[in-house]
Amino acid sequence: MRIKWLGHAAFYLEVGGLKFLVDPWLNNPAYRSRPEDFTDVDFIVVTHDHGDHLGDAIEVLKVAQKARIVSIYEIASYVGEQVGVNRAIGANIGGPIKLGSELTAVLTPALHSSIRGAPVGVVIIAGGESLYHAGDTGVSYDMKLVGELYKPKVALLPIGGHFTMGPREAALAADLIRPKYVIPMHYGTFPILWGTPQEFVEEVRRRGLGIEVVVLKPGDEVSL
Ligand SMILES: [Zn+2]
C-alpha cells in the first residue's frame, strides 16, 4: 500500500489499487495541497466533522467526479445534501461496509467529540491488506478488537496530546493493536499539540513490541 501524509490527520492512500483521502484538511499549516491534486480519488473518508478533519472534503467531491464520501451517517447526509446523495455513503460504527468486491471499510469507535453523529476511526481492507486510521481519539481497549478482527498492517495514530492521545497513550494503543508498522499523526500542526515523534518512538521501543515506527514529514510518501 502507498501512504502519503498530507499533514495533521490528512492522508492520501492507495490500498488494493483504490485511491483514498482520509480527513482531507488540505490547506493546513503543516502541508498545503489542493482539491485539484486529487481528481482521481475513489473514496473520501471523514472521521468527524471538526474543521481540521472534514476540511476540504466537499471541495474535493466537487472536482473529483467519481469520488464518494464514506462517513458516519449524519455527516454523510450533510455532505450528500450539498454534492448529491449518490455521492455519500453513510454508515455506522462496527458495521463492515462493502465498497466493492474486494474492498471493505469499517468505522471504529473513537473517544472524541463531533458536531454531527459520532466520531470514528476507520479500517480499510482491500487486496488482502488492512490499514487503520484511528481518527482523533483517546486510547481505548476497543483498539484490541480492531487488532484481533482486522489485523491491520499499518496503524495511523494521533500522538499530539491535548485533544487526542499523547505519545505514551499512543504507544499503549500500538500495543493493543499490534500492527506491523505505526505512523504517528496529529502532532506539530499547532503549538498546543505537544507530543513529538521522538517521544513516541521511545515509548514504543520501551514496550519491546517489534513494531516499526515510521516517522513521516508532511508531504512524505511511503510504500509498505
Ligand atoms: Zn483533530
* Domain ranges within the chain, ordered by starting residue: 2-217
Q: Under 8 Å CB-to-CB from 114, ≥6 apart: which residues?
A: 48, 49, 50, 72, 75
pLDDT at 127: 87
Distance CA 151, CA 167 (A): 22
For residue 29, the CA-to-ligand 1 centroid distance in Å is 13
Read off the C-alpha cell for 220: 512524505
pTM for this entry: 0.98
Distance 52 CA to ligand 1 centre (A): 5
Q: How far is the CA of 48 from the centre of ligand 1 (A)?
A: 9
7-29 residue pLDDT tens: 999 999 999 899 999 999 999 99
**In angstroms, rounded to a whole number, what is the distance separating the alpha carbons of residues 112 and 37?**
30
If you measure from the C-alpha of residue 136 to the centroid of ligand 1, how many angstroms do you get, rounded to a whole number?
Answer: 6
- pLDDT tens-digit map of 185-213: 999 999 999 999 999 999 999 999 999 99
Q: What percentage of residues in the chain have a pLDDT greater than 70?
A: 100
Cα(57) to ligand 1 centroid in Å equals 15
How far away, in angstroms, is 104 Cα from ligand 1 center? Answer: 24
Q: What is the pLDDT of residue 78?
A: 98
Beta strands in the chain (DSSP E): 2-5, 11-15, 18-22, 43-46, 68-72, 88-91, 97-100, 103-109, 120-126, 129-133, 154-158, 181-185, 212-213, 221-223
Spacing, Cα 101 to ligand 1 middle (Å): 32
* CATH of range 2-217; options 3.60.15.10, 3.90.1170.50, 3.40.640.10, 3.30.210.10: 3.60.15.10
Between the CA of 70 and the centroid of ligand 1 the distance, in Å, is: 18
Please give the distance, rounded to the nearest whole angstrom, from the Cα atom of residue 128 to the centre of ligand 1.
29
Q: Tell me, what DSSP letter sits at residue 39? A: T
**DSSP-derived secondary structure letter, 51:** H
Distance (angstroms) between ligand 1 centre and the Cα of 10 equals 10
C-alpha closest to that of 47 among 147, 131, 117, 141: 117
Task: Please list the rounded mean pLDDT of every run of 10 residues in the chain (224 residues).
Answer: 98 95 97 97 98 98 97 98 97 97 96 98 95 98 98 98 98 98 97 98 96 98 98
